[in-house]
Structure 1
Amino acid sequence: MNADEFFRKGKQMVTDYVNDHLDKSDGKQITPDNVYIVWSSKTLQNSKALLSTTLLDGMYYELTFNGDKDEFYLDAYKKFDNKAIKNWEEK
């Protein structure tokens, strides 16, 4: 699978996952245009990407394609914190 196909399928999988898990009473839905690739890597027949959306929910998604088994795996994570640590010294 080439990178463009992996990214297209990944964005659609994240879109489907997010839309299935959004609060239906909010009436919100996203499209693949609301999903972006943060990082990606390909090794041999396997691919991995970190994706996020334009929603302000702190979620990010890890998508893995196992080329040997022709399987995708999607993990959803919540970002709890992002802070800078300057001049850290080990105790």
Structure 2
Amino acid sequence: MGSKEFIELCKEEVKEYTEDHLDKSKEQPDFEVYVVWYAKTLQNHKALLGTTLDDGMYYELTYNGNKQELYFDAYKKFENKCIKLGE
């Protein structure tokens, strides 16, 4: 699997997951899926993705080229703070 193919697959998987987990009693919002970080080592790929929704979620997808398996992890950000060092 090439890099472009992997990224497109990741975006599709995140979009589908997000749509499946939206509140069905409300109007479905339009949103975009974007790549925050991507790396490829040998036959393996890894990407961190987010959406334009204000839900604090981010996603990690890893492709194991040896087993031809895609691993999907969904996370929720609980806190973002600055810790000053060396002052």
Q: Match for residue 41 of structure 2?
A: 43
**Cα offset, 1:26, TM superposition:** 1.3
2:77 counterpart (76, 79, 82): 79
In the TM superposition, what whole-angstrom CA distance separates every residue of 1:17-41 from its partner, at most 9, and x where no partner exists?
001111111121556xx00000011
Identify which of structures 1 and 2 has the higher relative contact order when contacts are C-alpha pairs closer than 8 Å and 6+ apart. Answer: 2
Identity %: 60
Moved segments of 4+, more than 4 Å: none
Distance 1:72 1:29 in 2: 27
- Change in Cα spacing, 1:30 to 1:70, as seen in structure 2 (3 Å) is farther
Count, aligned residues? 87
TM-score under structure 2 normalisation? 0.92
Question: Could you say which structure has the higher helix fraction?
Answer: 1
Distance 1:29 1:73 in 2: 26
- Is the 1:11–1:36 contact (alpha carbons within 8 Å) kept by the matching residues of 2? yes
* TM, length-normalised to structure 1: 0.89
Mind listing any 5+ residue stretches in structure 2 that lack a counterpart? none
The Cα of 1:87 is off from its aligned counterpart by: 2.8
